[in-house]
Chain A
Amino acid sequence: MPNEIILDIQNVTKQFPGVIALKDVSIKINRGEIHGICGENGAGKSTLMMILKGVHPWGSYEGKINYDDEELKLENRSIRQASDAGIAIVYQELTLVPNMTVGENVFLGREPKDHIGINWNKLYADTQKILDKYNLDIDANALVKNLGVGKMQMTEIAKALSEDAKILILDEPTSALTDAEIDRLMEILENLKSHGVTCIYITHKLPELFRITDSITVLRDGKVITTQPTSDLNEGMLIKHMVGREMKERFPKGKRKPGEEILSVEDLHAVDPNETSKEIVKGVDLNLREGEILGIAGLMGSGRTELVSTLFGEYGKITHGKVILEGQEISVSSANDAMKKGISLVPEDRKRYGLVLIQSVQKNISLANLDQFSTWYQIDFNAELNASDTFAQKLAIKAPNLSVLCQTLSGGNQQKVVIAKWLMSNPKILIMDDPTRGIDVGAKYEIYKLMNQLAEEGIAIIMISSELEEVIGMSDRIMVMSEGRSMGTLDKDKINQEKIMQLATGLA
């Protein structure tokens, strides 16, 4: 009889320069169980997975991981070694080749060969065998791009199982699935369990954890808070474990007085313009006052970014509902249109959406506002430099001069350049999508101070953040989203982490 514990993580500590991602983490995972791991964004879930798939190889962390009573030493960064050992991962983002069939994907890189090349018959027969064994309802010959997301995920699972996985790690597997598909996934997991496959199920959706798992580990700030059998826990306890920490004085105090209502959104629905059957915003109400910071909280995939880019006119197609700006219903057709109406968006992921990294600070700041100092045939460079410089100073952008390229700046300064760009357009409403992601604490503090200052000047700010503490620390009110819907708006005196978590996980 093999050992009851298949994976024994002992005192694992993983440090990155300046950050401890995992601190003395010990988790024991029993053979054949479904073990849930939950925690806030940034609690250390993904770092742990990176270690289990060898992206952070053995030796780059302290502590020990025993797998089937032997120490697991993943020495290279290729996930091949992990899957050879029997640890397979189904990623949050699907990693299939859309133009290949299910069978080709399942055996990608391991195609069965005979003396003249790939043995296609064996490949498809083997694929079908796996699909049948685990009761996965897909055709091995179907093209992956023609499958729905749910079936794509099944293909991923089949791929993992074809490698004789003993442990299957699912990282936020339901973030893109419909309810029916989630039900189906749950059935599949039960079926796998009956075949003796161990599952590690990572999610922040609490109802799923209670539905499927045998035991749950809660991570917070890189530490294991608790591991308990699911039957001993309830949702309230779990939320307390996830967020239970004290708030430190990390946020500057503002002395702003919110004024008149400037924007209100009523029952907004919007679809993906490229796939009109996919609803991305499913009913949002919000209102915003001058000189106020409204936080939008929600977990990854809750539709926060989709909502704000729709308001900015650059993503969703509005199918229902109203957007009312200063008492008048508006429809925003493009970024340019939004700017003219006084709405600015500091997009998420500054490198991808915010900056032209190979251009100078000055050109980046002025990009959205060139018409302020140019006619169609001429840009007034001096006026441009003057205006850019004014904002660079206001935001205290640290750069040798404004002609250095943005790619040479630190993350915090890059973010300030993006903010400067959007302030130059003189907005009434400034939407900031995760403005402090990936920048250090000092720079964060400066951005918070700036936000306070802007709000005091009367600009209405909408701030999205993945960090709960940050939303709570900065906002006057918080609107919580879950699965494309607004779940409710909390006033300053009613804000607490448990309450937000309940709304964000769809419990309240």
Chain B
Amino acid sequence: MGDTLTYLKKQIRENIQTYAIILAMVLIWILFSFLTEGRYAGSQNISNLFRQMTVTALLAVGMVLVIVTGNIDLSVGKLAGFVSVVVAKFQDDIWFQYLPNKPVLTTILSVLIGIGVGTIFEVIQGYLVAYLRVPSFIVSLGGMWVLTGGILVITEGKTIAANQPLFSYIAQGYLPQTAGWIAAGIVIVILFFTMFQNRRNRVKYGFSVTPLVLDILKTIFLSALMAVYVYIVNQYNGVQVPVLLLAITAVVMSYVSTNTPVGRYAYAIGGNREAARLSGVNIKKNIFNVFMLMGLLCGVSGVVLASYVGYGTIAAGSGYELDAIASCILGGTSTLGGIGTIFGAIIGSLIMASLSSGLQMLNVPAAWQYILRGFVLILAVYADVYLKKK
């Protein structure tokens, strides 16, 4: 038991920032639940809250790596917006002309086109930043304006409908209750399988393993958390398709950031560019890759945005880049580079969404919502700076 306690203490000490932010989020939820007499924690609100955050959370997931390498991307909001109007244009206009009455094919094509447009744009920006050494702040600021213009060109100032049933399912759909439980069941099996797999591998190398009880408890805890979530959202409409999409993306990107050379190099470049360079890391290629990943995610985010709103509008994606950056920062990403996690960014997004949802529910005027949001961001970062000094 003594071992278990020291292990837990060590875990907490090493991940203090993660736990602090989760704690902050739980406190926010409890506070709003009190203020709204429980309505806030109701299944409908929880379901909507998670659904609302997906568009910016997808951007934040990509932004983490961009910031970790010591760069910034101000164009992602408008890029998602641009993708959304391009996709809406295809949905509403082009498919109607050339591929009528083929909803499955056209939806798949729309998604691919959206992801393609996002990726191509970031490939260009990434090339400018990594190989031509134009500062990312400038490239993406310029990119943002270009995209603002691009949106106007595509929409011609009008709103384009993108509310075809199958396409809408991407961001507005829900899994049937049983499917939700089956999905949860599969994930739980995978969780246990990887846990045992990891233990086996460590033993193979002769490393010590954490006590089996702890590993099992940890996995059970995660499984329970997910089961509770599925239970809550099933009370309403079921597991939300976009949230499922976000979860898959986050897991994949989390894997990329910690388990692949691309991710590892990104952190090394942000931590000490010179040391990384002298260690043979191809800095240009890596930064380029990170921007390309960002573009992929902008594409996904833009498709979800179009499907979520049901329209392509001239205001699409405005200000999302700042929400995404704020989510990363709230989640512990260092603006100096080298530090940050995908998980943190998701929690950061969730905090932002939780705040605005709670404030809306309390009928706080928009003006005060903005002011409070500003204070929270600054306060959170100050708390982080202050805690680190101690």
Contacts and interface: CB of A to CB of B under 8 A. Distances in A.
B267 interface: yes
Given A358-B271, A359-B271, A383-B205, A345 B278 contact: yes
B271 A353 contact: no
B268 A385 contact: no
A352 B261 CA distance: 22
B261 A371 contact: yes
B275 A355 contact: yes
A368 B280 contact: yes
B346 interface: no
Contacts of A357: 271-272
Contacts of B202: 382
A378 B263 CA distance: 10
B290 to A, nearest CB: 14
B274 A353 contact: yes
B277 interface: yes
Nearest to B271: A356
B268 A314 contact: no
Interface of B: 14, 201-202, 204-205, 207, 259-262, 264-265, 267-268, 271-272, 274-282, 338-339
A403 B15 CA distance: 13
Interface in A376-393: 376-379, 381-383, 385-386
Interface of A: 312, 314, 334-336, 338-339, 345, 347, 352-359, 363, 367-368, 370-371, 374, 376-379, 381-383, 385-386, 403, 421
Nearest to A354: B275
A28 B317 CA distance: 73
Nearest to A340: B280
Contacts of A421: 279
Most chain B C-beta atoms within 10 Å of own C-beta, residue among A363, A381, A421: A381
Nearest to B281: A367
Contacts of A363: 264, 267-268
A315 to B, nearest CB: 10
Contact of B260 (A339, A367, A378, A403): A378
A335 B279 contact: yes
B264 A370 contact: yes
B207 A382 contact: yes
A335 B272 contact: no
A385 B198 CA distance: 14
A340 to B, nearest CB: 9
B272 A382 contact: no
Nearest to A336: B280
Contacts of A338: 280
Contacts of B204: 382
Contacts of A345: 278
Contacts of B271: 356-359
B69 to A, nearest CB: 13
Contacts of A347: 278
A390 B268 CA distance: 22
Contacts of A312: 278
Contacts of B274: 352-353
22 contacts: A336-B280, A336-B281, A353-B278, A356-B276, A357-B272, A358-B338, A359-B267, A359-B268, A367-B279, A367-B281, A368-B280, A370-B261, A370-B265, A374-B260, A376-B261, A376-B262, A377-B260, A378-B260, A379-B261, A382-B207, A385-B207, A421-B279
B280 A335 contact: yes
Given A363-B264, A374-B261, A382-B202, A334 B275 contact: no
A385 B272 CA distance: 21
A403 B275 CA distance: 19
Nearest to A385: B207
Nearest to A339: B280
A335 B278 contact: yes
A68 to B, nearest CB: 45
A307 to B, nearest CB: 15
Contacts of B280: 334-336, 338-339, 368
Contacts of B262: 376
Given A338-B280, A339-B280, A368-B279, 14 more contacts: A335-B279, A356-B267, A356-B271, A356-B272, A356-B275, A358-B271, A358-B339, A359-B338, A368-B280, A377-B260, A382-B202, A382-B207, A383-B205, A421-B279
A367 B268 contact: yes
B260 A382 contact: no
B205 A385 contact: yes
B277 A356 contact: no
Nearest to B205: A382
B55 to A, nearest CB: 27
A241 B14 CA distance: 54
A355 B281 CA distance: 13
B141 to A, nearest CB: 23
A411 B157 CA distance: 62
Given A382-B202, A383-B205, A336 B282 contact: yes
B118 to A, nearest CB: 22
A346 to B, nearest CB: 10
Q: Which 6 A-B pairs have the closest CB atoms?
A: A336-B280, A356-B271, A368-B279, A335-B280, A356-B272, A382-B205
A392 to B, nearest CB: 14
B380 to A, nearest CB: 20
A334 B281 CA distance: 10
Contacts of B264: 363, 367, 370, 379
A452 to B, nearest CB: 25
Most chain B C-beta atoms within 10 Å of own C-beta, residue among A359, A363, A421: A359
B338 A379 contact: no
Contacts of A359: 267-268, 271, 338
Contacts of A367: 264, 268, 275-276, 279, 281
Most chain A C-beta atoms within 10 Å of own C-beta, residue among B260, B276, B280: B280
Most chain A C-beta atoms within 10 Å of own C-beta, residue among B14, B271, B276: B271
Contacts of B282: 334, 336
Nearest to B272: A356
Contacts of A335: 277-280
A323 B14 CA distance: 48
Contacts of A356: 267-268, 271-272, 275-276, 338
Contacts of A382: 201-202, 204-205, 207
Given A363-B264, A368-B280, A379-B264, A353 B275 contact: yes
Given A358-B339, A367-B268, A385-B207, A379 B275 contact: no
A314 B201 CA distance: 38
A358 B337 CA distance: 10
A254 to B, nearest CB: 27
A314 B277 contact: yes
Nearest to A315: B278
A356 B68 CA distance: 13
A195 B10 CA distance: 69
Contacts of A336: 280-282
Contacts of B276: 356, 367
Given A357-B272, A367-B268, A382-B205, A376 B260 contact: yes
A314 B278 contact: yes
A374 B279 CA distance: 16
A72 B202 CA distance: 66
A335 B275 CA distance: 11
Contacts of B338: 356, 358-359
A199 to B, nearest CB: 37
Nearest to A386: B205
A421 B261 CA distance: 16
Contacts of B260: 374, 376-379
Nearest to B267: A359
Contacts of A354: 275, 278
